[in-house]
A and B are shown apart, each in its own frame.
Chain A
Amino acid sequence: MKKTTIIFQLLFFVMISGVAQEKKYERERRVKPSEIPFQIQSLLQPYLEKAHHSKFYKETDFDHESFEVKFRWNKVKYSIEFSNLAELEDIEATIKWADLGEQVQSGICTFFSQFEKHKIDKIQQQFSSKSIMDKEALDQALNDFKGEIVRYELVVELKEQKEWTPYELLFDDEGILISKREITKRTTDFILY
């Protein structure tokens, strides 16, 4: 019986692995600095020399590839995303509630007032610039904390009708909601049971 159990389990593992191999998933894996395109390396070089905890990631989403560089600059956590052609796509800085301007805070609070309770997990300030060079956009975001377009992304849990739901919210620089998307949080099976 024991042999049967072991064989059954092994077969089950192999079957499920086989099924999983057929489908491609979004993957983010850490890579060495040398594995990211040269253009990104040279663009970031002046900042990385003074930055702390630099990490490089390659993201594969089906047939699309992109790169992400994370580091700490002036005690702020930055995440900079590039396309597979090494074009600057997005700059994000993780900030605290107190770092938000009064107008933005007020707008977000007005939105939260529709719900019974809320809990903020993470706030990111997004900088994007379309009409200026990548280097200039980086300088503005990292040194002056500015960008042509500034948005705020919040990962929150909102309580409505006595139930909590996790959302990703996007606000503009006046605190007006642009988008609201329900998200799935990391599974807790291994931690709970």
Chain B
Amino acid sequence: MRLFILTILTFLLLKVCAQERRRMVWEGGVAVDYTIIKNISFNTSLAQRTSFLEDGEGQFTELSFLEFNQFVTKKVHPLLKLSLGYKFRTVEPVEDFDFFEHRITEQAAWTHFERRFRLVSRLRLEQRIRSSTFAHRYRYRLSTDFPLSGDKIDAQEFFLVLSSELLLEIVEKEPNTLENRLSGSLGYAISEKVKADLNFTCRIEDINLDAEVILFITTGLNIKLN
């Protein structure tokens, strides 16, 4: 299994490197999860994105944005969680026509089964407001996570998260775009309440137009307060 996942990640990396116009993105973030009322949890995170670009003129690095996320999640059934989220992103220098971004998210997550392997479907509706555009985004993600040793994720143990997400973006007066995000994360439970992860995501953007593959590398730290 580990060899299979490593092969997939290597393949994705090679596929991206084979592109004429390469773009690799690193996102780093810290998230805090806390419960205030029973069955209602909050998730606050801060993240940044840095792009590493290479074209005919050479390589360059840019800070794409800083973002703040706030989610509130209600467990309405042992298998169903509903969330409402807000995201704020600062200037995106890469795209000089966008100066800010607000994003409102409505989300439903359904757990299909939960044993050693857990399989979860996530449906997201997003309204993305930028200074120049307004977009509706519809996202569906199927993901699984499982420990790499034993039946449960104990402290000081590794785990894997694999997912595939389809994203449809609708912007007025612009062609609709379809995107697929294939992702693999290697996580490490530093303690019972602190988890770190290294994620590789292969984004195949504009599938219906002129497809572009972008590799995202994300490092994250999740802290559970209670």
Contacts and interface: CB of A to CB of B under 8 A. Distances in A.
Interface of A: 1-2, 5-6, 9, 12-13, 16-17, 19-20, 23, 25-30, 57, 119, 121, 157, 163-166, 185-193
A189 B109 CA distance: 11
The 9 closest A-B pairs by CB, nearest first: A28-B150, A25-B155, A157-B78, A29-B149, A20-B190, A191-B120, A20-B191, A119-B78, A189-B222
Given A5-B28, A27-B154, A28-B150, A191 B114 contact: no
Contacts of B185: 190
Interface string B210-226: 00000000010110100
Contacts of A187: 33, 195, 222, 224
Indicate the member of B109, B152, B156 with the most A CB atoms within 10 Å: B156
Interface in B65-80: 69, 71, 73, 75, 77-79
Contacts of B192: 25
Nearest to B69: A193
SS class, residues of chain B in contact with chain A? strand
Given A166-B78, A191-B161, A186 B194 contact: no
A28 B153 CA distance: 9
A12 B155 CA distance: 18
Q: How large is the interface on B (under 10, 10 to 19, 20 to 34, 35 or more residues)?
A: 35 or more
SS class, residues of chain A in contact with chain B? mixed
B107 interface: yes
A25 B39 contact: no
Contacts of B157: 27, 29
22 contacts: A2-B63, A16-B194, A20-B194, A23-B155, A23-B191, A25-B154, A26-B154, A26-B155, A27-B154, A29-B157, A30-B150, A121-B78, A157-B78, A164-B78, A165-B38, A185-B114, A188-B81, A191-B109, A191-B145, A191-B161, A192-B43, A193-B45
